Homo-oligomer: A and B are copies of this chain.
Amino acid sequence: MISLGILDRGSAVPLHEQLAHGLRAAVLAGRVSGGEAVPSTRALAADLGVARGTVVAAYEILAGEGYLLPRPGGATVVAEVTARSPALRECADTSAVEESPLMDLRPGRPGTTGLADAAWRSAWRRATAGDPDSDVSDTAGAPALRAEIARYLGRARGLDVAASEVVVTAGTSDAMLLTLLALSPRGGGSRLRVGFENPGYPRVHRMLRRLGIDAVPLPVRLGAGLDLEAVERHRDLDAFIVTPHHHYPLGSRLDAEARARLLAWADREDVVVIEDDYDSEFPHGRAPLPPLHLLDPARVVLIGSLSKTLTPAVRCGWVISTGVVGERIRATRDDLDLPVSLVQQHALALYLAEGSLARHTARRRREYRHRRRLLLEAFAGVPGVELVATDGGLHAVALLPGRGEDTERAIVADLAERGLRVAPLAAYVWEGAAVSLPAGIVFGYAEPSTVALVEAIDVVLAVLRAHAGAGGSAGWTSAEHRA
Contacts and interface: CB of A to CB of B under 8 A. Distances in A.
Contacts of A336: 173, 177, 207, 210
A98 B42 CA distance: 74
Contacts of A171: 337, 339
Interface stretch (A155-163, A291-299, A308-316): A308-316
A146 interface: no
Contact of A132 (B116, B131, B206): B116
A173 B340 CA distance: 12
Contact of A313 (B125, B135, B203): B135
A214 B136 CA distance: 28
A313 B337 contact: no
A113 to B, nearest CB: 6
Contacts of A111: 134
Contact of A124 (B124, B211, B332, B339): B124
Contact of A112 (B110, B133, B203, B211): B133
Contact of A316 (B209, B341, B347, B446): B341
Contact of A337 (B116, B130, B173): B173
5 contacts: A109-B135, A170-B170, A173-B339, A339-B339, A340-B341
A344 interface: yes
A211 B184 CA distance: 11
Interface string A180-220: 01000000001000000000000100110111000000000
Contact of A134 (B129, B206, B311, B342): B311
B114 A339 contact: no
A121 interface: yes
Interface in A333-362: 334-344, 347
A408 interface: no
Contacts of A206: 334-335
Given A173-B339, A335-B206, A116 B131 contact: yes
Nearest to A111: B134
Contacts of A130: 116
A334 B205 CA distance: 12
A123 B160 CA distance: 38
A128 interface: yes
B124 A311 contact: no
A152 interface: no
A424 interface: no
A343 to B, nearest CB: 6
Given A124-B128, A133-B112, A311-B134, A210 B190 contact: no
A114 B131 CA distance: 6
Contact of A344 (B112, B135, B341, B446): B341
Contacts of A124: 124-125, 128, 343
A129 B315 CA distance: 18
Contacts of A332: 210
Interface of A: 104, 108-116, 120-121, 124-125, 128-136, 170-171, 173-174, 177, 181, 190, 203, 206-207, 209-211, 310-316, 332, 334-344, 347, 446-447
A39 to B, nearest CB: 33
Contacts of A190: 190
A207 B113 CA distance: 40
With most chain B CB atoms within 10 A of its CB, the pick from A120, A173, A211, A313 is A313
Contacts of A312: 134-136
Contacts of A177: 336-337
B135 A108 contact: yes
B136 A315 contact: yes
B116 A170 contact: no
A239 to B, nearest CB: 16
Contacts of A128: 116, 120-121, 124-125, 347
A250 to B, nearest CB: 21
Contact of A210 (B115, B181, B341): B181
Contacts of A313: 132-136, 341-343
A423 to B, nearest CB: 13
Contacts of A129: 116, 121
Nearest to A125: B125
A185 B359 CA distance: 50
Nearest to A174: B339
Contacts of A310: 132
A135 B311 contact: yes
A211 B181 contact: yes
A32 to B, nearest CB: 30
